[in-house]
Structure 1
Amino acid sequence: ALFFLFVADIDWAAVLLIAAGSTIGGQLGARVARRLRPQVLRGVIVVVGVVAITQLLLRD
């Protein structure tokens, strides 16, 4: 990260949006995950992972 900080052009607007989305998503995700049964949470994690892998593999 330090290398890219000095070498690459950084879009700070994108950095701020990603940071805000990650913070809000992490807080909301933790609250939702605590309310789910462990089996349901595992199922959601597996489905999200399979969808992400499928999209990466089928990308043009």
Structure 2
Amino acid sequence: MKKENILFLTLAIVTVIGIMAIGVAIAERSILIGILSLLGITVACGMGFSLRKKLRETEEI
């Protein structure tokens, strides 16, 4: 696997764990876990999209 693919896989796993954490937050009725998981999902998805854009720009040149 390429280095980029491993990084994308890691970001996808972090995002899935964050989505699962939202379920745990609802079950535990914990606002803190919910907020932290939403923050983690946002950061992981944002990093993934920005990395994909940067990778696409370098391939076009």
Fold shared by both chains (TM-score > 0.5): no
TM-score calculated relative to the size of structure 1: 0.41
Q: Greater relative contact order (Cα 8 A, min sep 6): structure 1 or 2?
A: 2
Question: More helix per residue: 1 or 2?
Answer: 2
TM-score calculated relative to the size of structure 2: 0.40
